[in-house]
Amino acid sequence: MKTCEAIIFAAHFTFALIQCVGSSELKLIFTQVLYRHGERTPLSTYPNDPYKEDAWPNGFKQLTVEGCRQQYELGNFLRRKYSKLLSKSYKSHEIYVRSTNTSRTLASAACNLAGLYRNFQPEPIPIHTVPEEEDFVLLRTGLPCPGYDLAFKKDSRKVFSKIDEANEDFFKFVSKMSGIRDASTKSIGRLVGALEREIRNNFIMPDWIFAVWWDPTMGKYRTVYEMLYDINSVRQLTKFNSKKKSHYQSGK
């Protein structure tokens, strides 16, 4: 009896295939697909942002139309790749869908399934989730971990201090223009997240965002946004830039 199942997680974009060996050929019998949500609106914004939450049709933290399109296309890709594994219409024994318990990830899963079944599906497909405090599968990196916190604090203090000292005047300018008190490497995450999505969605940006500033790290003039983006990337990478921190977050 043939058994085929696929698990789709709205999380990280990674593919894992499990194959069994038949008498004379390899046959795919199981696929586990993990992917992140599509394009979303900002999580929040900065004090002097001319665009508040009402500038976004569904508010902050939500999947956008573009994000749904991205997921629909991913669903189409998965259909082409695994056409022999899944029936054209939903069969409960073939696929199990799990998402984190947020609007944008649940909506992403729904848009992905629309692409996966290409409108052949006449009824909704179940998308399973659990409360955030009970999710030990998809939100593992969000669990309390004193060891990780200590390692991150130790590493980030050294890295962030170096960046802050080299860009002291730059951060004073950012504080003045953005309204963020004492802007620093540690505090610009939400600012960069808001700017990034406003630019992608063709919002008219304040002039200071594209003002030219000397970047001591690159040794050349760059826009304020470019510098903020790169500094924030360093901040993000510092979360997982050692084996110890990776082990704390995901295990050995």
Stretches in the chain below the pLDDT threshold 50:
1-20
**Total residue length of the chain:** 252
Contact 97, 126 (CB under 8 A): yes
First and final C-alpha spacing in the chain: 36
In Å, how far are 33, 87, 199, 225 from 29, measured between CA atoms?
13, 13, 43, 47
What's the pLDDT at 54?
97
How high is the pLDDT of residue 16?
A: 37
Give the pLDDT of residue 178: 98
- The first and second tokens of residue 120, run together, are 């052949």
- Rounded to whole angstroms, the Cα distance separating 88 from 79 reads 9
Rounded CA-CA distance 18/39 in Å is 29
Q: Are residues 101 and 226 in the same domain?
A: no
Q: Copy the structure tokens of residue 95.
A: 């696929």
Q: Which of 140, 157, 191 lies at the terminal end of a domain, its last residue?
A: 140
Tokens 């629309």 correspond to what residue? 114
Tell me, yes or no, whether 131 and 244 share the same domain: no
Instruction: Assess whether 131 and 14 both reside in one domain.
Output: yes
| pLDDT in the model for residue 2 | 41
Q: Which residues pair with 35 in a beta bridge?
A: 10
DSSP class of residue 208?
G
Please report the pLDDT score of residue 211 as a whole number: 97
Gap between the Cα atoms of 118 and 76, Å rounded: 7
- pLDDT, position 251: 66
Q: Which one of 140, 163, 183 terminates a domain?
A: 140
Instruction: With 0.75 as the threshold, say if the pTM is over it.
Output: yes
Q: Are residues 125 and 62 in the same domain?
A: yes
Domain boundary among 125, 140, 155: 140
Q: What three-state secondary structure class fits 14?
A: strand
Q: What range defines the domain where residue 208 resides?
A: 144-250
Tell me, yes or no, whether 20 and 122 share the same domain: yes
Strands (E), 181-245: 212-215, 220-223
- pLDDT score recorded for residue 12: 38
